[in-house]
Structure 1
Amino acid sequence: MSRRSPFRARRLTALALSPLAAVGALGALGTGTAGSASAAVAPAAVAPAAVAPAASTELGAVDTYTGLEFTVPAGRDDLGRPQTCTIDADLYKPRTASSSARVATILTTNGFGGSKDDQAGLGRAFAARGYTVLSYTGLGFPDSGCKISLDDPGVDGVAASSLVTFLGGGGSAPYASAQVGGTTQGAGSLHVDWTVLDDAATHDPRLGMLGGSYGGQIQFATAATDRRVDTLVPLITWNDLRYSLAPNNTSLTRGVTYANSNPGTQKIGWTGLFFGVGILDGIQGAAIDPKRNVGCPNFVLEACRAKATLDTLGHPTSDTYELTDRVSVAHYVDDVKVPTFLIQGENDTLFNLQESVATYKSLKSRGVPVTMAWQSWGHSGGSNGRTGAAPGELDLTGQHIEDTYLGLRIKNWFDHHLKGSSVTTGPGFAYFRDWVGYTGSASPAYASASSYPVGTRRSWYLSAADELVGAKSQIQPGSRSWSNPGLGAPASYSEVSGLEGQIPLPDGLKTPYDTPGTFGAWSTAPLASAVDVVGSPTLDVRFESPAVAATQAIGPSGQLQVFAKLYDIAPDGSKTLVHKLISPVRVADVTQPVHIELPAIVHRVEAGHRLQLALASTDAAYKNAYALQPVTVRASPTAPATLSIPVVP
């Protein structure tokens, strides 16, 4: 019943990389009982029940119901009119579940550009382990109706709440076909009366959510909107979409949220891919809901306006913030109060590790139970050509959950929070180390700590002769100057968003580079011993640019743009830009010191290698300045520019 996007099949859309996800939307608090499934059915009078821990890992038989159709309220359309949306879903039920043998539930939806099919393996796997799983295709993707609203609380959240009600026995829905007891049967109607209920009167099931990327963010939104959600496991998702699509790694007011007056720089590759995939899904889903392609094609009008603003100016405006703030957990995190297991990808130029740090710190500061793991993979392609999880890390088909490090942790998390099991949920913080060899489960490659951050910080200082020195007394005075080409032309290259590791690339697009005269760089001496970097490097520096000082008062277009990054240089001179991560910076006032927070990394710099800090004037993955911006950085013993690196023993 689902149409599979060729983008999704070839995994060219890194936004849709996650084959699992969860539902919801962000925004206003609610009771979570506003919506219900298509045809209301009176719930059975069932008192709240405890869930016994699983007695063994023996897998049970699963019944499946495919092509469930829900017609649910979903807020308002672009014209402010109340709307209903059609949702396509599949349900996976433990065969032994019944009104006298009730089970907990897991709700999941697709990543961007995906469908319910992407969760089929996990749905069967968790149903075999004693959970009812409902996987649905999110709004705006085949074969569900309405437009893509970017996990809006008033649209996607209202729709998700109806599905929670259904899982709590509050409605019924027609399905296209089913496999029950090993027998194929035709169309019918399904009413759920076998889930554990925390409150029968409000159709409140014992419910957790699992998913990544677009489906990961919507978990926060659902939990903030619907108090019936009990726990979350979001993977590789965003904290603040303004930072994700137009980052500025300075002027941060909290987490990764930067000041409105000092906007970021558009990620032209990612935003273009994002809209291309959404429009393609709109074309494929035209028969389901023709209105999806009226006006702004398959996106709410605000999204098209935001894209036009970014394409024209290269940075967001206050109108854009109204949209991104509404659909980002950074701006409603106080309403998220359920245990959360954050999983973020080290190899991710779309939603980098700093996004998970921002959410982690916000939840932890308010006493919300939260743990965080940094896995090897994210939205970006691997430098070794591998895409997706490392061996033994996470089996996204669901066939070997207990045999993988994260698979077992996710299962234990749900068993603990939904079944009442005493099984441990793992360390407060864990991170994958790609320099550690292992066989089988990836557990040996993961280091653990009680919380984040870890280790200590080590400082280097910018010195003349393009050096990074380890003591202020070693700083030699001097300067380095460069300029951008102007007219928006790029002179540095870091990545092709979402395509690396997915398709063969020309040699010129495989290796990052900087054009002489358009960047400054400073390097350490060869390291005497290996240095393990875990966390976010920072740079405190002054820029000198009389030309920019004379234009910056006109606004963002007149402000200095810089792209900071760290290279690992091998003894043979070859350079590695770790996971292709860079830090775009738009300097609010070039006459003042600047504090830059680079994206977090997990990386071992081997003995004999050198660390190099590069400050480039442009990058091909971003919108660049049109005016010429000559700039100088001085090495000064009395006012040193300082690079701080988080290291662990």
Structure 2
Amino acid sequence: MRTPWSRPAPRRAALSLLSAALVAACAPAPACAQDEPFTVKTLRFDTRVGPQRDQRCEVVGDLYVPRSATAATPAPAILTTNGFGGSKDDQAPAARAFARRGYVVLSYSGLGFGGSRCRITLDDPDFDGRAGQQLITFLGGGSAATDGTRIDVVRRDTRGSDGRPHEHDPRVGMIGGSYGGQVQFAVAGVDPRLDTIVPQITWNDLSYALAPNNTSLTEGVSAATPGVHKTLWTTLFFSVGLLRGVEYALDDPARLLPCPNFADQACRAKLEMDATGHPSPATVAFARHASVATYLDRVRIPTFLQQGQADTLFNLQESLATYRGLRARGVPVRLFWHRWGHSGGAAPGEIDPAEPERGYETRQSLAWFEHYLKDRGPRPPQDFQFFRDWVDYEGDAGAAYAAAPAYPVGATRTLRLSGTDALVPDGEPVRAGAAAFTTTVASLPTSFTELSALTQSPPVRDLDGTFAAWSTAPLPDDVTSVGVPRLTVRVQAPRSADPAFMPVLFAKLYDVAPDGTVELTHRLISPVRIADPSQPVEIELPGVVHRYRRGHTIRLVLAGGDAAYRGGTVPMAVRVLTDATTPGTLVLPVEGDRGLPTGLEAERAAARTCTSRRTVTFRVPLRRGERITRVETTVDGRRRAVRRGRSLRATVVLAGLPRGTVRVRVRLRTSRDRTITRTGTYRLCARR
């Protein structure tokens, strides 16, 4: 898996898995640095991982040090690692780009990949998180590589995200995609010294990503009922992991047994889901332990979430779950839905590996680090931006992005299922009907939507008699949909307490042109396993950014199988019921970009600075004999210095910040074990 900053590795039988293609200028990192303003050195690190820190894992990484970074003039650092199946070498373009711009960079191979030892543990905080934590200690000067290398050229912090001082605390951020995105959460969850993260195209709940159920959702994308096995993607993952294990078997033969190159639970989970089509409670618990959904409370640092619209592995709902969770906890977070993902490439002008400032998305990442690591430039907006593939532009892709203050955007439009084949606007008469179809034995693939990472070119197909469909009349105007559609239907099917015998359906929305051409937006579908067909079934359809053109029709399809999934194990008859009293409903997010500025316009607005200054003062009288023992002050999640005494003062300097508001929070403990919290929201500056 590669990111916009990565260089593509050899395709290796189509198993490199990420299609954001960026070509690096040269191959081995040390060979590229001779004429560069930085040095590069390959290092190895002994790390101790596991719940008890009793497992030794050797990690290999390349250290990039700008020639301007010294003990007297230290620089901030960036930690980055590969996507699934890759290595530190994939991150060389990112490392060189950041090193040229004055960052110390440590690019390392994740556990089980690219020369790093131990088996694949799926970005579990106890393993991958702890390994990353020890690399942060190295960047902070607190440990040495195996050859004795120590560094003292990284800028230091005085307090972590928990408000406490920590030894060997560097100013450091992380960036990376997919597997290299989730590990950032894993590190943030165990190490308060990490300052900011930029996770790209990654998961919120791995049990959902690999076996999604888009009904009976409890929180975010997590569901109460086991999901539907995403067979093609998991098979690709295991093929990649096995190949990497064989590649390094001579140096580390223990990786091959009993589960080749994976934690033992991973093999059990794969065999189980191949057989039954769904994960057991133990597998769900194993996957969720390696998911930010489980430990989101421990992530307290500014987070720039970047998720792909063209992604059938980690869909847009995954990023929404993390985004909403962080916002609810008051963590500064920005949500960015770009074009590229595991299932499709980047749009022109989104990314530029040689000159990141020329690519809209790579420029946003640079600006994020400039602010949060170098204390330069305006405060990045905590907004929601999304790419629109229907916008014509030349050059910078920012012209095709729309920027909103937050998600969701626009309005909603309700359509109702009528009879056996129609979608009608809310308020129009609804005909009674029962659309019937059959699911096949052993989850035979009666529908085709994608070949996962291999190709998206074959046309979509549904076998007659194995699906039901409802269509609108030709649209009188364009319909712009940004977000997650929601479907409610009444289903008549056999009921079972065993997930293996529950009805399994696949919901999707087609865009049908006047000539009959069918488009399934980015090949996205929503599998559902229905625990109780006697109740209305609420389904989240795939999140999309899509424009249905005037004259086209919107077609809702419920199918009984899909070639990319291990569906139901037994054949069953399914009926979808509708009548005027209880019709099925499809709620579409619409008008998503109406009245919004483009990304470029929002970028220019954010760059406008204020000239005013303002002092915000919180006064907290202390009781007789009482003193302040600990103070934590943040402005939009960023730590600020305070004065101590019989009153508490927190000063916010507004010069150089964009117009808007900031939220100030002061929390202190006293010698009498009192906790006092003061918060306030303030305008940064008035309009000129």
TM bucket, shorter chain = 0.7 to 0.9
The AA in structure 2 aligned to 1:488 is S
2:231 paired with 1:268:
yes
Q: Answer yes or no: is the 8 Å Cα contact 1:105–1:131 preserved in 2.
A: yes
Out of 150, 156, 176, the position equivalent to 1:191 is 150
Corresponding residue for 1:65?
40
Deviation at 1:610, TM superposition (A): 0.3
Corresponding residue for 1:308?
271
Q: Answer yes or no: is the 8 Å Cα contact 1:354–1:600 preserved in 2.
A: yes
Give me the whole-angstrom Cα distance separating, in 1, the residues matched to 2:442 and 2:132: 46
Out of 147, 158, 161, the position equivalent to 2:130 is 158
Give me the whole-angstrom Cα distance separating, in 1, the residues matched to 2:14 and 2:41: 27
Deviation at 1:14, TM superposition (A): 5.5
SS of the residue 1:73 aligns to? strand
Report matched runs for 1:396-545 at 5 Å.
398-426=353-381, 428-464=383-419, 466-500=421-455, 510-545=458-493
TM-score, normalising length from structure 2?
Answer: 0.80
Report matched runs for 1:61-140 at 5 Å.
61-75=36-50, 82-140=54-112
Q: Answer yes or no: is the 8 Å Cα contact 1:197–1:203 preserved in 2.
A: yes
The AA in structure 1 aligned to 2:441 is G
Deviation at 1:98, TM superposition (A): 0.6
Q: Answer yes or no: is the 8 Å Cα contact 1:482–1:520 preserved in 2.
A: yes
Corresponding residue for 1:31?
none
Percent identity for Structure 1 against Structure 2: 50
2:197 paired with 1:221:
no
Give me the whole-angstrom Cα distance separating, in 2, the residues matched to 1:306 and 1:334: 27
More divergent stretch after superposition (481-490 vs 247-256): 481-490
Q: Answer yes or no: is the 8 Å Cα contact 2:367–2:380 preserved in 1.
A: yes
Deviation at 1:100, TM superposition (A): 1.1
Give me the whole-angstrom Cα distance separating, in 2, the residues matched to 1:161 and 1:70: 12
Corresponding residue for 2:347?
390
Give me the whole-angstrom Cα distance separating, in 1, the residues matched to 2:357 and 2:9: 30
Deviation at 1:94, TM superposition (A): 1.1
Q: Answer yes or no: is the 8 Å Cα contact 2:88–2:114 preserved in 1.
A: no
Give me the whole-angstrom Cα distance separating, in 1, the residues matched to 2:310 and 2:18: 15
Corresponding residue for 1:576?
519
Give me the whole-angstrom Cα distance separating, in 2, the residues matched to 1:252 and 1:12: 33
How far does the alpha carbon of each residue in 1:437-489 deviate from its partner, in whole angstroms, 9 at most, with x for none?
A: 11111000000000001011101111125110003432122221111122321
Give me the whole-angstrom Cα distance separating, in 2, the residues matched to 1:436 and 1:625: 40
Corresponding residue for 2:11?
9
Q: Answer yes or no: is the 8 Å Cα contact 1:19–1:118 preserved in 2.
A: no
SS of the residue 2:337 aligns to? strand
Deviation at 1:576, TM superposition (A): 0.3
SS of the residue 1:487 aligns to? helix
Deviation at 1:17, TM superposition (A): 5.4
Q: 1:158 to 1:19 in 2, by over 3 A?
A: farther
Q: Answer yes or no: is the 8 Å Cα contact 1:462–1:522 preserved in 2.
A: yes
Give me the whole-angstrom Cα distance separating, in 1, the residues matched to 2:20 and 2:84: 8
Deviation at 1:567, TM superposition (A): 0.1
SS of the residue 2:577 aligns to? strand
Q: 1:538 to 1:481 in 2, by over 3 A?
A: same
Deviation at 1:75, TM superposition (A): 2.2
The AA in structure 1 aligned to 2:196 is T
Q: Answer yes or no: is the 8 Å Cα contact 1:523–1:611 preserved in 2.
A: yes
How far does the alpha carbon of each residue in 1:393-421 deviate from its partner, in whole angstroms, 9 at most, with x for none?
A: 023xx312101111111000001111111
SS of the residue 1:542 aligns to? strand
Q: 1:11 to 1:424 in 2, by over 3 A?
A: farther
Corresponding residue for 2:173?
208
Any stretches of 5+ residues in structure 1 without a counterpart? 21-59, 176-188, 382-387
The AA in structure 1 aligned to 2:347 is A
Corresponding residue for 1:231?
196
Give me the whole-angstrom Cα distance separating, in 2, the residues matched to 1:81 and 1:368: 29
SS of the residue 1:332 aligns to? helix
SS of the residue 1:229 aligns to? coil
Give me the whole-angstrom Cα distance separating, in 1, the residues matched to 2:378 and 2:13: 35
Q: Answer yes or no: is the 8 Å Cα contact 1:15–1:213 preserved in 2.
A: no
Q: 1:302 to 1:10 in 2, by over 3 A?
A: closer
Corresponding residue for 1:626?
569
Give me the whole-angstrom Cα distance separating, in 2, the residues matched to 1:11 and 1:293: 21
Q: Answer yes or no: is the 8 Å Cα contact 2:19–2:340 preserved in 1.
A: no
Report matched runs for 1:589-628 at 5 Å.
589-628=532-571
More divergent stretch after superposition (153-162 vs 452-461): 153-162
Q: Answer yes or no: is the 8 Å Cα contact 1:533–1:604 preserved in 2.
A: yes
The AA in structure 1 aligned to 2:270 is K
How far does the alpha carbon of each residue in 1:227-265 deviate from its partner, in whole angstroms, 9 at most, with x for none?
A: 000001000000000100000000000000001xx1101
How far does the alpha carbon of each residue in 1:296-334 deviate from its partner, in whole angstroms, 9 at most, with x for none?
A: 100010111111111111100111022111100011101
TM-score, normalising length from structure 1?
Answer: 0.85
Q: Answer yes or no: is the 8 Å Cα contact 1:542–1:592 preserved in 2.
A: yes
Corresponding residue for 2:610?
none
Give me the whole-angstrom Cα distance separating, in 2, the residues matched to 1:360 and 1:150: 21
Deviation at 1:160, TM superposition (A): 1.0
Give me the whole-angstrom Cα distance separating, in 2, the residues matched to 1:158 and 1:602: 37
Report matched runs for 1:298-337 at 5 Å.
298-337=261-300
Deviation at 1:9, TM superposition (A): 3.5
SS of the residue 1:351 aligns to? coil
The AA in structure 1 aligned to 2:15 is T
How far does the alpha carbon of each residue in 1:507-551 deviate from its partner, in whole angstroms, 9 at most, with x for none?
A: xxx011111111000000000110011000010110012xx13xx
Deviation at 1:201, TM superposition (A): 6.2
Deviation at 1:626, TM superposition (A): 2.6
Q: Answer yes or no: is the 8 Å Cα contact 1:409–1:426 preserved in 2.
A: no
Q: Answer yes or no: is the 8 Å Cα contact 1:109–1:115 preserved in 2.
A: yes
Deviation at 1:72, TM superposition (A): 1.4
SS of the residue 2:370 aligns to? helix
Out of 143, 146, 154, the position equivalent to 2:118 is 146
Q: Answer yes or no: is the 8 Å Cα contact 1:68–1:90 preserved in 2.
A: yes
2:312 paired with 1:349:
yes
The AA in structure 2 aligned to 1:86 is E
Q: 1:393 to 1:426 in 2, by over 3 A?
A: farther
Which of the pair has the greater relative contact order for Cα pairs under 8 Å at 6+ separation? 1
Deviation at 1:275, TM superposition (A): 0.5
Deviation at 1:61, TM superposition (A): 4.4
The AA in structure 1 aligned to 2:207 is R
More divergent stretch after superposition (460-469 vs 582-591): 460-469
Give me the whole-angstrom Cα distance separating, in 1, the residues matched to 2:46 and 2:445: 48
Q: Answer yes or no: is the 8 Å Cα contact 1:93–1:131 preserved in 2.
A: yes
Deviation at 1:174, TM superposition (A): 5.2
Give me the whole-angstrom Cα distance separating, in 1, the residues matched to 2:166 and 2:436: 69
The AA in structure 2 aligned to 1:539 is L
The AA in structure 1 aligned to 2:118 is C
Deviation at 1:635, TM superposition (A): 2.5
Q: Answer yes or no: is the 8 Å Cα contact 1:433–1:445 preserved in 2.
A: yes
Q: Answer yes or no: is the 8 Å Cα contact 1:239–1:356 preserved in 2.
A: yes
How many residues are paired up? 569
More divergent stretch after superposition (235-244 vs 616-625): 616-625
Corresponding residue for 2:215?
250
How far does the alpha carbon of each residue in 1:542-570 deviate from its partner, in whole angstroms, 9 at most, with x for none?
A: 0012xx13xx13x1112111100000000
How far does the alpha carbon of each residue in 1:271-297 deviate from its partner, in whole angstroms, 9 at most, with x for none?
A: 100111000000111133221112110
